[in-house]
Every structure is written in C-alpha cells, then in structure tokens.
Structure 1
Amino acid sequence: MSAAESLGPALLGRLPSEVRKPAYDRSALRPGIAHIGVGAFHRCHQAEYTDDLLAKDFDRWGLVGINIRPPLLGQTLGRQGGLYTRLIRQNDEVEARVIGAIVRVVDSQESAAPALEVLSSPEIEMVTMTVTEKGYCHIPSSGALDLGHPDIVHDLAIPQAPRSVPGVLARALELRMASHGRPVTLLSCDNIPANGIILGNVVRAIAERRGSGLTDWIEANVAFPSAMVDRIAPATTGADIDTVEERFGYRDSGVVVGERFRQWVIENRFAGRAPRWDRVGAIFVDDVTPFELLKMRVLNGAQTTLAHLGVLGGFEHTSDAMADPVLAAFVRRMLSEETLPTLMPVPGISPPAYVEQSLARLTNTAIRHRNHQIATDGSQKIVQRLLNPIRDRLAKGESIALLSVPVAGWMAYLVKASARFGRAWRVCDPFAERIAAIADRVGSDSQALADAILAIDAIFDPALAASGAFRAHVIAGLEGLLSNDPMGFVGQACVVPTDARLKQPARSA
C-alpha cells in the first residue's frame, strides 16, 4: 500500500489491522436514511451508530448524506465512496475506525433540486439532521418560525426552489404527498430543547401557508420525535489528517475526531419503519425532556460558560480553560449550586455524578475544541443553556448570581468584537453586527450596554429582561468582564456572596 494512497472502497481490504473496518458487505447496502448537514458531529455520532447497527443487524439503512450549506461533500466523502476515518482521542490514546454507513453524498448548495430528489424518494423512510440551531430559522426566545428571516421570506414566495431547511423539508413532504405518499420520520439531532417540537413547528408553519391539504397529510404521515445527542467532536485540523497518514499509512480528507463518550436518547415515536439504534447503545424513551435538560444545562452550559469566559481570559481551548483553577472552580460551583436544582429526575443517572463526568470530559487534552468554535452562534444557544434555568430559579426566588456571569460573558464576547473595543477577535453569531452596533453607539457604559442588549426580544423574553435581579447581575457581570481583569472578577464571583457584590457601587468598565 502506497504511503499516500487515498481511502476508498478499493483500499478497505488492505488497511492496517489496527484500523477497524465496516463489518458488513457495503456492496449490498441500500439507502433508507437521508441526513442533512454532514459535518464532523454527524460522522462521529449518528453515522457511527448506524455503522454499528448494520454490523449487528444488517438491513436497508444506508445513509445518503446531503449538504445544502458548505462544505461541498463531493470533494471529500464523494471521492472516497462515502468512507472516512473516525479517530477517538483520549489524552495520549488514538483509535482509528473506518465508517462505511454513508453510501452516497449529495451537494445541494446551488439548488435545492438534488436534496429534494433524495428526500422525496420512497426508499427514504428516515430523515435526520444536524444543521445547527440557526438552521431551523426559528425565534430562539419563542420557538416560532421567523417569518422575517430572508430565507423564509424567499421560500414562502418561491416554494419550488427553497433555500432554508424548513422550506426544503416542507417542499419534500409536498412532493412525497403528491407522488407515493409513504410516511417518513424527521429526526432533529441538534442541541435545541424539544427539538422535535421546534422542527414540527417550523415545517408546519410553512405547510399551513401552502394549503393543498399538506398540513393534514403531515399530521397523518410524518413524525417529529425529539432527541438528545452527545459526543464532543471538534473541527478537524490538518494535524488530524496527517495523523492518519503518519500512523496508519493512508490519506483521508474526511477524517473526524471525537471523544470516547457518546450518547443518543430518542423519543419512541416514528412514522413507519425506523432503524433499531437502541440495539447498539441508543436509548428509546417516551420522554426525552429529562435527558435533554441534563445535557443542555450541564454539559452544554459548561461548554458555553468556559468558551466565552475562556476567550475573555485568553484561553484557546476548552481543556485550557478547565486547567485554570479559577474557571474550573467557577463552573463546578455554578452547575452544582444553581443548575442542578433546575433539573428533572433522570432515570438511571445521578446528576452530581453527571456534573463530574462532564467536567472530566472537558479536561481531555487530546480534544482540541477551540473556544471560538464553541462560542459560534452563542445567541442561539444561551436560551436553553442559561436563560431557561435562570428563569426557573427566579420563579422560585432562588439565586442566579453564578448563572448570570456566563450570560454577561456572552455579551462581553460579542461587545469586544466591536470597533469600540478594538475588534479584539472575529466572531460568528447572527446577532454579532447588532451587538457591535450597540457597543459602538453606547460606548463602554455597562448599564447602557446591558439594557440595550437585553432589549433584543428574539433572545431575551421581555419578562426575564424586566427582572430587576437579572438585570443587576448582568450589569455587574458585564462591568467585571469588560474590565482589565476579567478572571479576577470570575474568581470574586465564585467566592464573594452575591448580595455583597451587588451592594458595591457600580463603576464604568
């Protein structure tokens, strides 16, 4: 085998013995699942579960990967026949496995037509998706379809050539109804609370504007189960690709990297046949909510907290932030004292043990998860990870001193990307320009900054924004985090009683 030979079907039989290979006949595999958003997470998670299922109980559950946003799949997975290497990295350990569940890839960035052809096909019985929070074109604070979103405006005007995920799905369902009428399950695998409900809401909202009986057909033939997914899978680097060639002797442009831990909890509500992922480690339940809240508020809440505060403290990766005693102590206390009391009982899981397990996962030095990557689209994430638990605690008259700090951290992260603060770093967030404009307009006054940002009702529910306690904590947090010593503020927030801090006179940052 040539040192630089590329991964592909012809190479499978000549891979090194230490590289795990698909344990089934790929030539016999037929598509039954379509997945929208074939990025690192899907290839580390749902595609791996499907690969496991095919090895255990072979059936017609091959995956067709679809991207309607960059990157182009044909240039990577397409050239490799859908094959790619999944690396598990745990500190100094590296484990390689070639995943074979993807039978075909479809690039549909220029036109929706290729995606619609796959999604409306009678052979597709399950559609999964990882399109990020903003892909649902919903209003984070309410969960409703954002009718002012440019792509939604376009899709409502030109439904035959949709641009958005909800528009593409609604059109695909319309084509299914008009042709063969076979049922289909649409399964969201994104970190959104009640993601199945949100997906159903946005698709039905478009369908209702189409008429033609589409809404009634969807009610009778389409399921939108909710799901909770978990595995840390950072963006692939050139070093990851080089690792495969150097250690295993072949070239793979589709490498993905993940941690050993994985979890998938799926609401047991399907339309027609569904893959039995529960036979290979997934959990089918009647109600995903307890698992969802646990993961989003603990693990994801910790990630969002460490990402924004970590950048403000000068740390590049999550593991770097966790290695800092101040940040590690802060996030552990925040989760233990303020987040855990907002959770529902979770069958078979001890929440305090889950906190420690989650924080231990974030210390993995081999997972080079950049804080800026985790901070991407923070405005779409803070509602479920931070604002909802804050609302729950305020309703019971309980302290929100610690949970408010990462909310202020998200604000400070975007504010410091403004011209007023020297554009400290580049950010990627749907509200980045709006918050930068606020910072440029009001300057460095923490109270004015907080008031203007809290007035963005697409993120902050007006009732929450009107809370005097919440507002006071956010102002204090923003002032401290925009100061010359943000980590000093975090350390103080972790040890000084809340009331004592709020009684101190406010200062301008």
Structure 2
Amino acid sequence: MRLGRDTPLPASVQAPGYDRAAQAAGIVHIGIGAFHRAHQAVYTDDAMTAGDRNWGIVGVSLRSGDVAAQLNPQDGLYTVSTRGVQGSQLLLVGAVQQVLVASENSQAVIDAIAAPTTHIVSFTVTEKGYLRGADGALDLAAAKGPSSLYRFVGAGLAARRAAGLPGLTLLSCDNLASNGAVLGRLMRDYLAAEHPDLVGWFDSACRCPATMIDRIVPATTDGDRAAVETALGARDEGAVVTEGFSQWVIENDFAGPRPRWEAAGAALVADVAPYETAKLRMLNGAHSALAYIGLGRGHDYVHQAIADPAVRPIIERLMRDEAAPTIDAAPGQDLSAYADALLDRFANPALHHRLIQIAMDGSQKIPQRWLETLAWHQERGARCPSLEVAVAAWIAFLRSDHPIDDPLAEQLREAAAGPDAMDRLFGEGGLIASVWRPEVK
C-alpha cells in the first residue's frame, strides 16, 4: 500500500496538526530534493501546526521528474526519519502540496510563482545552480536555458507586475557565501538582460534575505525505505532520513508575509554572516576534508572516517585552530561548543552519510570552504597543516578511480595529473584560482 492522505497511521508517527486541504500555497520551492524536505519543509509544517496558515509548498524540480513521481501519488506526503544513538523517530510532513517538473510544464511553474497567494520563492539548487561564470558574474547564456531558475522566476515576476500583485521574497537556502546578496545580484542581472522594465520594480518590491541552513541529510537508500514501510505500514517512496540536529538562521528582511518559522525554532536575525561563515568554514570545510581524506583511507561513511584515529585529529585541528580564528563570532556564538557539537554529529553511527556524496562538486565547494581560511592565515604569515592535508587528499581523489561528479570533472582530472597539479589547480591562472573570489577580511 502506498502512503497517501487516507493511510491509517500508527500512534508512534507524528502527523500534521492542521487541515491540509484548507491551506493555500504560499511558497514555491525550486529544487525540492531531500534536504529541503528534511529542513525548510519541516519548519513550515511545524509553523502551520503552531497555528500559522496558508503556507503550503509547491515544489519545483527543474529537470528530473523523480521527486514528482515519489510525492505526487502520495498527495505530497512523505516521512522524515530522525536517527540518533538513542533510536529513531518518524514524522509525517504535510506542507508539500504538489511537485511540478519544469521541463514538462514550464507554464505551471510560472503560474505558481505568479499566483496571488504566493509570497516566497525559495531555492536549494546547490552552488552550481546559480550559473555563475569564472568571474562570478551571471552566465547569461546558461541563465536563458530551459532549466534555469532565472527564466522561471523572471517570467513569474513579470506576470505578477502585470497583474498588479506585490513583489516576492526570494530566499536562497544554499551553502553559498552571502547567498541572499548573490541571488539578488544575479537575478537583477538576468532581469536587466531579459526583462529590463522589471529592474526598478524588482529593486523596490522584492527582497533577497541571507540564510544559513544546517542539517545533515544523507541520500535515502532502499534499506531506509524498507524500514519506513515496516514502521508505517505503507510504502513511502519520498522518505528522507536525517539527524536530530537542525538549524536555520534567516535575515529578517522580507518583501511581505512570511511563516512564523521562529515558532519552529528558526532564528530571525539582522546579520547572518557570522553563522554562515562558521558553517562554511567549520562544518562544510571539515565535511569536505573528511570526504577526501576518508575515501583515501578506504572509508565509506562519515562516522567511519571521524572514528579513524589518524583522521580525527586532522579534522579537529581544522575546525578549532584553522577555521575558528578566522570567524568574527556574533554575541553568544560559541565556536568551541560548535566544534564539539560537530564532532558528535559526525560520529553518529545511525546516520549513514556517504563520503562520496559529500565529495561531489568539489570545484564549486572548495573555494569557500577551504581557501578563505587558507588566505586568512597566509595574510598573517601562518600555515594550515590540516587544510594542506585536505588539499593533497583532494588531488589524490582526482587521480584515483573514484567517479568525479563535478561540472569541471574533465578539467579537474587533467589539471590533477602530473607533478605540477598544485600550480594547475591553485596557482595564478589555475583552474580553482580562476573561480575563487576571495572575501576574507
């Protein structure tokens, strides 16, 4: 039996505490993968359970129809399995109402963005989904492509303005330094080229707040789905698995109404930067290092790599001695406690987070995860031994038989070959240096 609105639930499963059928869709989310379903959709579900209304989510997949095939036959319902050393909990999430596939029905996506009930368009499209060129500017040719977020948002904004509707909040939830400012700048550049009459309206009517998101969400396996089916009594093709920890920090700058996400534990702040920098350099930087060092030592999962006595000291030094000193912490932000928590989270044996999943898209991640820290220390005449080990491990990974899932895969393999790999990757004019836009202070 497939999960759906009429599925009887065991008492152990927490169900949505609101009338799903009575909720309008207030959010369009582009890039509705596992992370969104385990993070922002859960916060939204909790906000509606707490009494907020009309914040249903219309999910959008830009290319693949996989998530639509998982969720649409289930009335948008899916489960989140929270796993830790003390056991697991199963939550049924009802915030997602439907999933649109942009490549199959582009007008439906535009109509959803232009709908009077829509107030927020949010994004988890990964770093490469923002279609930036080597200089950080918008790759306009790619942005005009059929699977570009800018194409759909631009058309939706044009329809809203023509109908006399208010602007939108565009909410990036990707691991991208200054993600709100970056999205706003790129969106404005696209509009200047394709909808020049919208630029002034966009500047005055729309907002692009910064966010910091944090939750570890491994890829769901067939074994995970089988375990959910046993507990639920129904097959959930959209099941996601995650850890108990979750954090969301959002710049409080919205164009109009928003869910009361703070009722679900989100923090609305004036400045996201200290939290974002800590996550990028400490959590994400350590994750990437764990991936390449761990794979090189024959490990498959994060918890295996951090348990390796030859690896853990490298990761701990990276976080405490190399990354943490580069961060201007916000009042009350305890970076030492943050490092403690990260080490505990990495060691969670119930969360099978594959290192090869973290190793994806290294060319897009490494500049902001590692190079900012290296540059900060170099400016002060210091070195970063742990990050140097991580860089060497990444080069070894590029030379190995592991598959490279990266938009620059061919160039990376070529650059990593031979004794001059460091120069070809990181030297002046090198492959990574050409896409790195340092922002250290």
* Structure-2 separation of matches of 1:428 and 1:32: 34
One-letter amino acid matched to 1:244: V
Partner of 2:205: 221
Partner of 1:30: 24
1:176-196 Cα distance to aligned partner (Å, 9 max, x none): 222233211000000001000
SS of residue paired to 2:320: helix
Deviation at 1:402, TM superposition (A): 2.4
Note if 1:122 corresponds to 2:116.
Answer: yes
Work out whether residues 267 and 285 of structure 1, in 8 Å CA contact, stay in contact via their aligned partners in 2: yes
Deviation at 1:109, TM superposition (A): 2.5
* Structure-2 separation of matches of 1:376 and 1:253: 24
SS of residue paired to 2:433: coil
Note if 1:146 corresponds to 2:120.
Answer: no
Work out whether residues 306 and 346 of structure 2, in 8 Å CA contact, stay in contact via their aligned partners in 1: yes
Deviation at 1:384, TM superposition (A): 1.3
Deviation at 1:337, TM superposition (A): 1.2
1:180-214 Cα distance to aligned partner (Å, 9 max, x none): 33211000000001000111111111111135421
Work out whether residues 31 and 62 of structure 1, in 8 Å CA contact, stay in contact via their aligned partners in 2: yes
Note if 1:62 corresponds to 2:50.
Answer: no
Deviation at 1:396, TM superposition (A): 2.1
Partner of 1:421: none
1:188-337 equivalences under 5 Å are 188-337=172-321
Work out whether residues 29 and 103 of structure 1, in 8 Å CA contact, stay in contact via their aligned partners in 2: no
Q: Call closer, same or farther: CA 1:168–1:17 in 2, change over 3 Å.
A: same
Q: Call closer, same or farther: CA 1:57–1:331 in 2, change over 3 Å.
A: same
One-letter amino acid matched to 1:232: I
SS of residue paired to 1:106: strand
Work out whether residues 74 and 105 of structure 1, in 8 Å CA contact, stay in contact via their aligned partners in 2: yes
Name the TM-score, length of structure 2 as normaliser: 0.95
* Structure-1 separation of matches of 2:436 and 2:12: 57
Work out whether residues 88 and 257 of structure 1, in 8 Å CA contact, stay in contact via their aligned partners in 2: yes
Note if 1:453 corresponds to 2:437.
Answer: no
Partner of 1:19: 13
SS of residue paired to 2:277: helix
Q: Call closer, same or farther: CA 1:38–1:402 in 2, change over 3 Å.
A: same
Select the residue among 361, 369, 374 that pairs with 1:385. 369
* Structure-2 separation of matches of 1:196 and 1:464: 16
Partner of 2:332: 348
Q: Call closer, same or farther: CA 1:129–1:462 in 2, change over 3 Å.
A: closer
Work out whether residues 252 and 269 of structure 2, in 8 Å CA contact, stay in contact via their aligned partners in 1: yes
Note if 1:427 corresponds to 2:404.
Answer: yes
* Structure-2 separation of matches of 1:450 and 1:46: 39
Name the TM-score, length of structure 1 as normaliser: 0.82
Partner of 1:437: 414
* Structure-2 separation of matches of 1:464 and 1:74: 36
Deviation at 1:438, TM superposition (A): 3.2
One-letter amino acid matched to 1:359: L
* Structure-2 separation of matches of 1:287 and 1:462: 26
One-letter amino acid matched to 1:381: K
Q: Call closer, same or farther: CA 1:449–1:44 in 2, change over 3 Å.
A: same
SS of residue paired to 2:294: helix
Partner of 1:474: none
**Structure 1 stretch 290-299 or stretch 165-174: which is displaced more?**
165-174
Work out whether residues 132 and 139 of structure 2, in 8 Å CA contact, stay in contact via their aligned partners in 1: yes
Identity of aligned residues (%): 39
Partner of 1:403: 387
* Structure-2 separation of matches of 1:95 and 1:293: 31
Superposed CA RMSD in Å reads 1.9
Work out whether residues 290 and 315 of structure 2, in 8 Å CA contact, stay in contact via their aligned partners in 1: yes
Work out whether residues 52 and 259 of structure 2, in 8 Å CA contact, stay in contact via their aligned partners in 1: no
Aligned pair count?
437
* Structure-1 separation of matches of 2:122 and 2:4: 25
Work out whether residues 126 and 187 of structure 1, in 8 Å CA contact, stay in contact via their aligned partners in 2: yes
One-letter amino acid matched to 1:146: D
* Structure-1 separation of matches of 2:139 and 2:231: 48
SS of residue paired to 1:235: coil
Give unmatched runs, 5+ long, in structure 2: none
Partner of 1:43: 37
Deviation at 1:233, TM superposition (A): 0.6
Partner of 2:95: 101
Work out whether residues 415 and 435 of structure 1, in 8 Å CA contact, stay in contact via their aligned partners in 2: no
**Structure 1 stretch 16-25 or stretch 70-79: which is displaced more?**
70-79
**Structure 1 stretch 97-106 or stretch 243-252: which is displaced more?**
243-252
Give unmatched runs, 5+ long, in structure 1: 156-161, 417-423, 466-509
